[in-house]
A and B are shown apart, each in its own frame.
Chain A
Amino acid sequence: MSEPFVTRSDILSWGRVVRAPQRVATPRFRDELDKLLGAANGASLLPIGLRRSYGDSCLNDTGDLIDMSRVDRFIAFDPAQGILRAEAGTSFSEILRLIVPHGWFLPVTPGTRFVTLGGAIANDVHGKNHHRAGTFGRHVRALGLLRSDRGHLTLTPESDAALFASTIGGLGLTGIIEWAEIALVKTDSSSLEVETIPFENLDAFWSLADASTEKFEHTVAWVDCLSRGESLGRGIFSRGNWTPYGFHDAHDDKTWKRVVADAPEFLLNPLSIGAFNELYYRLHAGRPHTKLQHYVPFFYPLDAIHGWNRLYGRSGLLQYQCLVPRATEREAIRALLEEIAKEGQASFLAVLKTFGDVPASGLFSFPRAGTTLALDFPNRGAATLALLTRLDAIVRDAGGALYPAKDGRISREMFRLSFPRWQEFEKDPAMSSDFWRRVSA
C-alpha cells in the first residue's frame, strides 16, 4: 500500500498567493475516508473541494489535505420532486448537466460552477438571488458528516441543530462532509430574461437596488471603482428572471478556453485596469436593454476562461469581500469606494449586491441583511495589504463582516467581530487550516 498523502507543490488556492507545498490525499471512494483519518498520524486534516476559495481557508500547510473532488457520485435523483443526493465532491457543473434537462436548477449558485457540493456547504455560499433564496445551506435537507471523534453522522437541521449550524459555513473544520441532499428549484427554462441598466453613481445604485428586489429573482451590479467625485460608484446593474420559453438545455464543459501560463505581471497595472473599467462601462453604458441569456453566461461569465486567475501573474490576487449591514450600508459603501479610488489600486471586478433578510443557517455564514462589496486586487505586497487594512477599519466601524472564502489575511479580532457566535462552534479536534490557525491564534 503506498502512502496516501503525497507532498505536492501544485496545490494552490484560487488567489495563488500562498505557495507552500501541501500534503494531499485524493480518495475516490467514501470507504477510504476512515483510513485517511487514521493515516494522518496526529497531523491536522482538512477536506477540500475544487479550491475556488481565494485565500488560505482551503490550505493546510502544517497538516494534510483530503481532496474530495474525486468522491463525486450521484447517490439518488428524484426528477419528480427535485431532490438530489450526491457525494460531497460532485461539482455544480456536473449537477447542472444532470438536473437542467429535467427542468430543475440549483437553489443557489456562486459565480462559478466549478465548486463542489461540500465546498459550497462549508462556505454556505450565496448567489444573485440571496434576497429571495438566502444562502445555499438553507436548501440542504440532510448531510453525511464524518467526525474524527464521533464517526459517521447523518445531520438534518432538526436532528442535531448545533452541529448542523456549525457545519453549514463550517469551513471544513467540523469534519468531512461525505454527501448531502439538497432541494432543487423548478425553472421554466434554462434561460433568463436579463435587463442591463447603467447607473451614474451610488445614489442611482441604491434606487435601482430598491426598485429591483421585489420584481427580480436575480440582481447584481458591477462598479467602476476608479470613478470619483460626482460619478463615484457608477456602474452597470443587471437583473433577471427565468424566462418561460420552455427550453431546458444544459451546458457542455467541452468548450472551455484555457489560460495555460501565467500572464506577465505588467499586464495588470493601474493603467490597463483603468482602461478596462472605462471600456466596460462605455460598452454597457448606452441605453438600458433586455436580452435573453442562457444560464451559463448569466451566472458564470468568468468560467468562459478557465484559469483566468493566472492572468494576475505569479504573485496572484487578493480578493476582498465584505458586508455592511442595512443601518450603515450607504455611508460605508461610499467610504470604501472613496478609499479605493483614492489609492488608485483599482480592481478589475468590483461587485455590489444587496443581501436580503433570509437568515443564514450557519454560525460562520457570511451573508446577512445589508450590502456586500467584492473586489479583486492584483497582489502588490505591502501596499495592497495596507489598503485592505484600511478597508477593514471601515467595515469594522460599520459593524460589518468579511467573507472567509475570499480571505487570506484577516486578524483574529476581525474574524470574531465578523462572527460573534464563534464560541458556539463545534470544531472537529482533528481538523485545521492555515486560515483557522490565524483567526484562532
Chain B
Amino acid sequence: MSGASTEIAVAPVTPLRIIILGATSAIAEATARLWAPGGARILLAGRNEARLNEIASDLKARGAAEAIDWPLDCASANASAELGKMVDRLGGLDILLLAYGVLGEQAELERDPAAAARLITTNFSSAAAWCLAATAVLEKQGAGTLLVIGSVAGDRGRRSNFIYGATKGGLALLVEGIAHKLAPLGARAVIIKPGFVDTPMTAAIANKGPLWAKPEAIAASIVRAGEKGGPEIYAPGFWRGIMIVIRNLPVAIFNKINI
C-alpha cells in the first residue's frame, strides 16, 4: 500500500441551517429531534420563551450544533423583516419549516366572524407572508427548501371544518405555485398534508382509531420532504389514496355523508 494515495475525498459537510416557525408544536418538535443528531443549526421561533428554551436544550443534547430561541408571535410579526434577521443570524437558509396554525371549532367560528377572521389571519394571511418572504430568500440563494404544514382538510370543503380547511387549501395552492416558480432556480417548496395526528391540538378527541398517526411519523415524512420530492406530500402516505377518493366523490353522494 505504501506509495499509493490513501487520501479519501471528503465532501465538506456543512450543517443544515434550519428555521422553524411554530417550533413548540408537537410536529415541529418531533421533526427537529430528527434533524438534531446530524448537527443541524436550528432557529426556533415561537411565542413561549420558556418552552423554546426547554426544546433548545433538548436539541443540543441530541446533537444540534446550535439551537437558537427566537421568541416571536409568528402570526403578527413582520415576516420579511424578521426573516431577514433570522437568515442573517444563520448565515443562510437551507430549510424553513412553517409549522404554526390553529384548529379552531367550526361551530364557534361560524357564530363569531371576528374569531373566523383571526383564524384566517393566523393560518393563511400571516403564513402566506412568511412563504413569500422565504421565496424571496430561496430565489436569491438559488437553493434551499420551504416546507409548509398543510392538512388533508384543505383538499375538499366539508361542513365539519371548512374554515380551517379553506386556510390550509389556500396555503396548498400558494405553495404549489411557489414550487413552480422555484423549480427552475434550484430551490424547492413542499406542502405536507397530514391526516389525523395525535397532538395537543386534537387532545379532546378520545380513543383515536387506526387512521391516527403520532407526530413522530409525520416528522419522518417532513424530514424526507426536506431532502427530496414535492410539491405535495401526504403524511402518512396512505392519505393520498383516501383523498383521491374523497375529492372525486360525486356531490350527490358527498352531500349525503357526514364526514
Contact = CB atoms under 8 A, between A and B. Distances in A.
Contact of B200 (A7, A10, A28): A28
A23 to B, nearest CB: 10
A74 B62 CA distance: 8
Contact of B204 (A3, A70, A75): A3
Contacts of A2: 203-204
B57 A10 contact: no
Contact of A28 (B26, B50, B205, B207): B26
Nearest to A7: B206
A175 to B, nearest CB: 20
A73 B204 contact: no
A74 B203 CA distance: 24
A8 interface: yes
Nearest to B57: A75
Contacts of A3: 204
Contacts of B51: 29, 31
B20 to A, nearest CB: 15
Interface in A1-28: 2-4, 6-10, 26, 28
Contacts of A92: none
Interface in B47-63: 48, 50-51, 54-55, 57-58, 61-62
Contacts of B203: 2, 4, 6, 26
Contact of B207 (A9, A26, A73, A98): A9
A77 interface: yes
A439 interface: no
Interface string A47-75: 00000000000000000000000100111
B58 A73 contact: yes
Contacts of A28: 26, 200
Contacts of B200: 26, 28
B57 A74 contact: yes
A74 B207 contact: no
Given A73-B57, A75-B58, A98-B61, A6 B204 contact: yes
B206 A74 contact: no
A381 B204 CA distance: 35
B200 to A, nearest CB: 6
A30 interface: yes
Listed residue (A3, A7, A73) with the most chain B CB atoms within 10 angstroms of its CB: A73
B57 A6 contact: no
Interface residues of A, number: 21
Contacts of B50: 29, 31
B61 A74 contact: yes
A30 B204 CA distance: 20
A73 to B, nearest CB: 4
Interface in A76-98: 76-77, 87, 98
A77 B59 CA distance: 11
Contacts of A75: 54, 57-58, 61
Interface in B61-100: 61-62
A313 B213 CA distance: 25
Nearest to A253: B216
Nearest to A84: B61
B206 A6 contact: yes
Contact of B54 (A8, A70, A73, A98): A73
Contacts of B206: 6-9
Q: Which interface residue of B57, B58, B207 has the most chain A CB atoms within 10 A? A: B58
A31 B24 CA distance: 13
B212 to A, nearest CB: 11
A9 B62 CA distance: 35
Contacts of B26: 28, 70
Contact of A10 (B61, B62, B205, B207): B207
Contacts of B55: 73
Given A29-B51, A98-B62, A8 B207 contact: yes
A190 B203 CA distance: 39
Given A6-B204, A10-B207, A76 B54 contact: no
Interface string B9-31: 00000000000000010100000
A9 B57 CA distance: 35
A7 B206 CA distance: 7
Contacts of A4: 203
A84 B107 CA distance: 47
21 contacts: A2-B203, A3-B204, A4-B203, A6-B203, A6-B205, A8-B206, A8-B207, A9-B206, A9-B207, A28-B200, A29-B54, A31-B50, A31-B51, A73-B55, A73-B57, A73-B58, A74-B58, A75-B57, A76-B57, A76-B61, A98-B61
Q: Top 8 nearest A-B pairs by Cβ distance?
A: A74-B61, A73-B58, A2-B204, A77-B61, A74-B58, A6-B206, A8-B206, A29-B51
Interface of B: 24, 26, 48, 50-51, 54-55, 57-58, 61-62, 200, 203-207
Given A2-B204, A3-B204, A31-B48, 7 more contacts: A8-B206, A28-B26, A29-B24, A29-B54, A73-B54, A74-B61, A75-B57
